[in-house]
Amino acid sequence: MVSAMVGRGTALGAALLALLAVPAQAGTAAAADLPVPDDAGLQAVLHTALSQGAPGAMVRVDDNGTVHRLSEGVADRATGRAITTTDRFRVGSVTKSFSAVVLLQLVDEGKLDLDASVNTYLPGLLPDNRITVREVMSHRSGLYDYTNDMFAQTVPGFESVRNKVFSYQDLVTLSLKHAVTNAPGAAYSYSNTNFVVAGMLIEKLTGHPVATEYQNRIFTPLNLTDTFYVHPDTAIPGTHANGYLTPDEAGGALVDSTEQTVSWAQSAGAIISSTRDLDTFFSALMSGQLMSAAQLAQMQQWTTVNSTQGYGLGLRRRDLSCGISVYGHTGTVQGYYTYAFASKDGKRSVTALANTSNNVNVLNTMARTLESAFCGKPTTAKLRSATSAATSAATSVERYEDIAPGIARD
């Protein structure tokens, strides 16, 4: 159940570019200047993830049209079907980047001001009129993350919401039962509540459901045929990888978490996609095809997360051990870990998926796909040649997931 393939793909064509009415922005780092992706290193990462409890894992690298596809393990434990890079899956918080794109397009259209109070558009929603759209999009609002309460116990929490349907207001109300964690703009504090508010802004300003805006503004123009927003339906359309949730109790049986409404997340985490479509999305985003150059620059105004990471507006920056920075988002939803990132110019992109969650070892292991995809073999990456400990320090820093981010997973 191990597979690897490298082939020549097709980049976004002229027909796609004609659909997008915003100019491209040249990146400052060309894919041609990056080391060749290390397929052996990628396969080793997948193998390690399986040894740590992931039923399956896969990674797809699009290197300016040359596509590397690697997978190992199973998509379905019941049937034993092998996982492949064409399987669809739940992308979790990668959804936040899609929501941010829609909001920044609304800024380009003159319908939204990043520095206006959220309450300007959604009167009375938030307890502090000083909380701005920018602060919500950069996780600096101080709004408490309701998922800390919802998933304090992993499996019971999940089963309690698996089939529930929440309104956006329901989720904001859960958050507001708690005091804010910091004054507006004072600190970075990751909170799903922020991108629930983002969904409310999208629907208020457009008059349409977020599903319609995602489809019309992103899915259709980029021909993302594996990408869906089906909330509150519970099934993943077509061939997909099942997700398996790890219980909190050591040795507990994995729970098949594939079918759920994801209503607890919605615009913060309910999109379904594939490795190909996420590579396409982040390549298009970083090459300037989804918004004006001015808004792409706003998206990359970084707030420090830690020594190797920054957060912009619905976009993460990760600084790798070889001195290269990559841009995208991580995603956790019950049973799935996703890493989806691209180079500065968008010409190299990688999406990696393990079909488990609540497993900090797998979470950290899958982060290493970025090193192999962008830094190449250890002998060709300047800083990676120092010590293996340096690589470990640069990549294995995750103790928290994108859901219940206040709860340590070690």
Residues catalogued as catalytic = 93
What is the Cα–Cα distance from 405 to 384, expressed in whole angstroms? 29
Q: Residue 110, class by beta-carbon neighbours within 10 Å (0-12 exposed, 13-18 middle, 19+ buried)?
A: exposed
Three state DSSP letters for 93-160: HHHHHHHHHHHHHHHHCCCCCCCCEHHHHCCCCCCCCCCEHHHHHCCCCCCCCCHHHHCCCHHHHHHH
**What is the sign of the dihedral through the CA atoms of 83, 85, 88 and 94?**
positive
Q: What are phi and psi of 312, to 5 degrees?
A: -100, -125
The SS3 assignment for 383 reads helix
CB 129 within 8 A of CB 180: no
Phi-psi category of residue 288: left, alpha or beta, with phi > 0 → left and psi -120 to 50 → alpha: left
What is the Cα–Cα distance from 211 to 206, expressed in whole angstroms? 12
The SS3 assignment for 391 reads helix
What is the Cα–Cα distance from 268 to 270, expressed in whole angstroms? 7
